[in-house]
Amino acid sequence: MKHSRLDPGDGLWIVPCEAVHTFGMRFAIDIVFLNKKRQVRKIRHAVGKRRIAVDLLAHSVLELPAGTVASTNTEVGDQLEFEKLYA
């Protein structure tokens, strides 16, 4: 929440998670809900400030810069592959 944006290529993978909010955020994000196999269950595009997004059957959530999902043609049912990055 202290950030003013997410840079292209950046994201936040929250595990386990089935709901997120954008209270206190200063920018819109794309929200991707995933199952345990990292398949896309639900997508919310460019979610603005003071919003809540929920998928009670999700295992995790991927937060991305707004527009990332559209620019990568990511759709429900897609299988995602990525690795955790520890800072």
pLDDT in tens, the chain (87 residues): 566 778 888 889 999 999 999 999 999 999 999 999 999 999 999 999 999 999 999 999 999 999 999 999 999 999 999 776 666
Any residues with CB less than 8 A from the CB of 78 and at least 6 apart, and which? 39, 40
- pLDDT given at position 4: 73
Inter-CA distances, 36 with 1, 58, 64, Å: 26, 8, 19
Q: Which residues pair with 30 in a beta bridge?
A: 64
Q: Please check whether residue 20 is in contact with residue 63, taking contact to mean a CB–CB distance below 8 angstroms.
A: yes
Instruction: Tell me the backbone φ, ψ of residue 20, rounded to 5 degrees.
Output: -135, 160
